Copies of this chain bind each other. A is one copy, B any other.
C-alpha cells in the first residue's frame, strides 16, 4: 500500500495540534505522505449536534485537564490559550491560500506555525494581525495572505473542502483516513500505526 494519509484537523483543537506534531513521522515510518486538510468543526457540529468540548457540562472541565495531562504524557509543548475555543475560519482559509500560491510544503509549515502560535504562545489566531505575524515569520507577505484568505475563490474552496470532509464521515479533530479506513482522535494513532504496518487490524 502506498496511498497518502488524509489528515483532518481544526486549528482550535488541542488533540488536532497534538496529532499535527506526530503525523508526519508516523506516515514516514510507513513510507506514506500526508495530505493536510484544515477543517471547521463548527460545521460538522451542525450535523452531529456536537459542541466545543469546553462548553459541555462535566466533559468541559475534564477535557481542559486532559489536554494538559495528555500534552505532558506525550511530551508536547502546550499551554491553554486565553481565547479558547475560537473561530478558525481565517487560519484555515489562509492555509489554503498559502498552499495554492506557495505549495504544499509551505502550507504545512504554515499550519505548524499557526498551531504553535495558538497552543504554545497563546496568541489569538482568529485575528488578522496574528496571521500576519505568523506569515511574516515564514517569509510570506502577511497582507497578501490576509487578502488572499478573504478572496471569494478561497472562501469557496474551504466550503467545498469542509463539505467534502463531512460527506466522507469526518466529524472530529484529528481525523485520519488511510486506504478508506477512518481513525478519529489522537488516541487512535496506535491503531493507525498498526493498520499501516499490517494492512489491517
Contact = CB atoms under 8 A, between A and B. Distances in A.
Contact of A201 (B58, B72, B171): B72
A47 interface: yes
Query: How many copies of this kind of chain does the complex include?
Result: 2
Interface in A148-201: 166, 169-172, 182, 184-185, 187-188, 190-191, 194, 201
Given A62-B184, A182-B65, A187-B187, A201 B73 contact: yes
Contact of A171 (B47, B51, B59, B70): B59
Interface of A: 44, 47-51, 56-59, 61-62, 65-66, 69-70, 72-73, 166, 169-172, 182, 184-185, 187-188, 190-191, 194, 201
